[in-house]
């Protein structure tokens, strides 16, 4: 399932119609918005007044008493909570960090909407406002093999805690299972970053020029996915790849053995028996989607929101493992 469409396409019945994906879990529907400003208002993502406070002080309390240390190279980034009106801490940042309010991207978002005929999709802030996204749905539905449907998105991702630059990404969601197809394709740029520096406004203007480059990623994705779809993969090959992505510990303890077996059992079931792989079973494309489905919907996490945030992130284990699985399966299709 995907949150991109409220109803299936006319020729496509969703195989997992009740499954929420990362967009749904972390975001608010803004499909009725005509402008970026309207979309951000719907998600309570305007008027934060993100700003810097003075030097950050570090305080330590121990047996010797209270020690306060000034940190002259660090400042606090804060916002005004749009619901309560209270000032909230977002993170500590360096001297070169320049706060960029989300609405400063509205002109570019509106430009993308006009030039690509996209519609606003979902917008959300999470991790207490430290991270955010606003996604748009592109009108074209990509069909791998002529039938396996994917909805394309252009998404602005960002942070207010210096953990990442704000950036525009392109990527699809698979309709049958809600997999977030977020991985790195060699030689294809899938994102364009806007750093939190004094040059941020200049970078935002340059997004106009970068859009064509981002769409090259979509072309590469379609070519390579079709190669995987036409490549048979056996259960033995799939299990070997699982052991490559999650190496078997040399001397595993009882908990490690149990976790490893449970993960293998889930992945094997997704590859061999899941309804979501019915139309692509026994192929490299099914193998990839088994990995993606596991990481996006089954991998252990404290909360569904934690798992969703991992799936949306361009950094961390989820994207790393997805990219490794994708690269290995593509090698089989060479």
Average pLDDT over residues 128-134: 93
Average confidence (pLDDT) over 118-139 = 94
CB 264 within 8 A of CB 242: yes
Higher pLDDT, 205 or 129: 129
Confidence (pLDDT) at 58: 67
Where does the pLDDT of residue 2 fall: very low under 50, low under 70, confident under 90, or very high at 90 and above?
Answer: very low
Angle, in degrees to the nearest 10, between helices 284-293 and 317-332: 170
Q: Is residue 107 over pLDDT 90? A: no
pLDDT of 16: 57
Quick one: average pLDDT of 124-131?
93
Residue length, the chain? Answer: 334
Out of 6-10, 166-170, 236-240, 324-328, least confident range: 6-10
Range of 146-160, 173-187, 213-227, 279-293 with top mean pLDDT: 279-293
14 pLDDT exceeds 70? no
pLDDT digits (tens, 9 = 90+) for 263-317: 999 999 999 999 999 999 999 999 999 999 999 999 999 999 999 998 888 778 8
Structure confidence by residue, pLDDT tens digits, 56-76: 666 777 777 777 767 666 788
- Cβ neighbours around 323 below 10 Å, total: 15
Q: Confidence class of residue 5 from pLDDT cuts 50, 70 and 90?
A: very low
pTM: 0.84
What pLDDT score was predicted for residue 6? Answer: 37
pLDDT of residue 1: 28
Q: How far apart are CA 258 and CA 256, in angstroms?
A: 5
Q: What share of the chain in percent tops pLDDT 90?
A: 47
Distance of CA 98 to the CA centre of its chain: 24
pLDDT of residue 270: 95
Q: Nearest 10 degrees: CA dihedral of 25, 306, 278, 269?
A: -150
């Amino acid at each position: 399932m995907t949150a991109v469409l409220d109803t299936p396409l006319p020729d496509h019945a969703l195989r997992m119609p009740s499954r929420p994906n990362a967009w749904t879990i972390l975001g608010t529907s803004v499909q009725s918005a005509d402008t970026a400003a309207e979309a951000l208002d719907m998600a309570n993502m305007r008027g934060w007044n993100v700003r810097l406070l003075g030097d950050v002080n570090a305080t330590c309390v121990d047996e010797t008493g209270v020690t306060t240390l000034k940190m002259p190279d660090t400042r606090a980034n804060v916002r005004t909570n749009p619901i309560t009106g209270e000032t909230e801490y977002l993170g500590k940042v360096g001297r070169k960090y320049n706060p960029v309010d989300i609405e400063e991207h509205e002109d570019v978002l509106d430009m993308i909407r006009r030039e690509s005929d996209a519609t606003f999709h979902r917008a959300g802030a999470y991790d207490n406002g430290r991270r955010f996204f606003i996604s748009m749905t592109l009108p074209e539905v990509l069909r791998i093999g002529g039938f396996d449907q994917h909805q394309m998105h252009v998404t602005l991702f960002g942070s207010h805690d210096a953990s990442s630059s704000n950036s525009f990404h392109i990527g699809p969601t698979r309709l049958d299972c809600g997999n977030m197809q977020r991985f790195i394709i060699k030689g294809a740029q899938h994102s364009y970053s806007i750093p939190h520096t004094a040059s941020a406004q200049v970078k935002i203007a340059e997004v106009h020029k970068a859009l064509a480059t981002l769409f090259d990623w979509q072309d590469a994705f379609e070519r390579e996915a079709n190669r995987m779809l036409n490549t048979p993969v056996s259960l033995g090959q799939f299990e070997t790849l699982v052991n490559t992505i999650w190496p078997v510990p040399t001397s595993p303890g009882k908990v490690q053995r149990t976790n490893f077996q449970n993960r293998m059992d889930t992945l094997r079931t997704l590859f061999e028996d899941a309804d979501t792989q019915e139309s692509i079973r026994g192929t490299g494309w099914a193998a990839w989607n088994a990995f993606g489905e596991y990481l996006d919907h089954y991998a252990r996490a404290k909360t569904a929101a934690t798992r969703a945030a991992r799936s949306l992130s361009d950094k961390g284990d989820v994207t790393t493992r997805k990219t490794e699985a994708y690269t290995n399966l593509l090698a089989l299709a060479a």
